[in-house]
Chain A
Amino acid sequence: MKAAVVVFPGSNCDRDLAVAFEQAGFDVSMVWHKDSVLPEGIDIVGVPGGFSYGDYLRCGAIAAQSPICQAVVEHANRGGYAMGVCNGFQILTETGVLPGALLRNAGLKYICRTVDLQVATADSVFTQGYAKGDVIGIPIAHHDGNYFADADTLAALKDQDRIAFTYGDNPNGSVDDIAGILSENRRVLGMMPHPERAADDGHGGTDGTAVFRALAGILAPA
């Protein structure tokens, strides 16, 4: 199995995401933002957290226009798998691959702590390792994680069972406690919490490991 992790100027979770993929059994290649093509034969592309381009203009706005993001959009449009974590989620919404947007936290503070997430659907390659309703502890670290979508988009997310994770105790004002969502074809995940920061005993928790293990199990060649 092969994964690619995109690196932007200002990414700071790229290595963590790569290690989480590697520990699940992926061969990982890092892809620079100026590259215009993804490596051949990859099974999934990860868009990591951080502060791409210094969060200038809006979080993720400038990264979304980078050459590699055009390739990520094409990959997703072809039905390829992708996951965006934190700034990666912001970037995927800015590209339009995922609906909605991430606003400034309602409390205006940067929040960095482990929160309880509820698994809202187990029906995806990303969440199949959990049961619906499981409560897992995953770190968040963001200033702009307040998920917003208009009423029609929210209705579609609910009707199509595309809300992947919700917060137990909403830390940032996200509408309907949404912490992560899936694309319509369920092959793209965006989430503000960091499963790659709960993927090793040294992290103080391993509740995120199931995301990567499930991906590895499902994407493995038969």
Chain B
Amino acid sequence: MKARVHVMLKNGVLDPQGEAVRHALGAMGFDKVEGVRQGKVIDLDLAAGATEADVTEMCEKLLANTVIESYSIEMK
């Protein structure tokens, strides 16, 4: 069983890396980009029986810092 966790900076938290990417895209002539947010993808290989609740707990305790980051979980 696998899970994919997406971790993103929360809306309202400045993402300087995303901004730098946006500037670079603009400088390259991609003029239709209005915003860039950069995040992380974490893939977990899970033993049988692991639940989304387990992954949620992992996110809350380690994978995301909920002061600044939000997360979403895809169970596969």
Q: Report which A residues bind B (CB closer than 8 A).
A: 57-58, 61-62, 65, 93-94, 99-101, 103-108, 146, 148-150, 173
Across the interface, do A105 and B68 meet the contact criterion of CB distance under 8 Å?
no
| Chain B residues within an 8 Å CB radius of A58 | 65
Across the interface, do A106 and B65 meet the contact criterion of CB distance under 8 Å?
no
The 6 nearest A-B residue pairs measured at CB:
A101-B67, A101-B68, A106-B16, A104-B16, A108-B16, A101-B65
> Which chain B residues in 1-19 approach chain A with CB under 8 Å?
9, 13-14, 16-17
Across the interface, do A65 and B62 meet the contact criterion of CB distance under 8 Å?
yes
Q: Which residue of B lies closest to A65 (CB)?
A: B62
CB distance from A108 to the nearest CB of B (A): 5
| Chain A residues within an 8 Å CB radius of B13 | 103, 148
Complex CA–CA separation, A61 to B7 (angstroms): 14
Q: Which residue of A lies closest to B13 (CB)?
A: A148
Across the interface, do A108 and B65 meet the contact criterion of CB distance under 8 Å?
no
| Chain B residues within an 8 Å CB radius of A148 | 13-14, 67-68
Across the interface, do B16 and A105 meet the contact criterion of CB distance under 8 Å?
yes
CB distance from A174 to the nearest CB of B (A): 11
Contact for B63 among A57, A93, A101, CB less than 8 A: A57
Across the interface, do A103 and B62 meet the contact criterion of CB distance under 8 Å?
no
Flag whether B20 is at the interface (Cβ < 8 A).
Answer: yes
Evaluate whether A173 and B67 lie within 8 angstroms (CB atoms) in the complex, with A57-B62, A65-B62 already known: no
Q: Which residue of A lies closest to B10 (CB)?
A: A150
| Chain A residues within an 8 Å CB radius of B63 | 57
Across the interface, do A93 and B67 meet the contact criterion of CB distance under 8 Å?
yes
Across the interface, do B14 and A94 meet the contact criterion of CB distance under 8 Å?
no
Contact for B67 among A62, A100, A108, A146, CB less than 8 A: A100
Q: Which residue of A lies closest to B12 (CB)?
A: A150
Across the interface, do A173 and B16 meet the contact criterion of CB distance under 8 Å?
yes
Contact for A103 among B16, B20, B61, CB less than 8 A: B16
Contact for A104 among B17, B62, B65, CB less than 8 A: B17
Across the interface, do B62 and A173 meet the contact criterion of CB distance under 8 Å?
no
Complex CA–CA separation, A24 to B13 (angstroms): 40
CB distance from B43 to the nearest CB of A (A): 14
Q: Which residue of B lies closest to A93 (CB)?
A: B67
| Chain B residues within an 8 Å CB radius of A103 | 9, 13-14, 16, 68
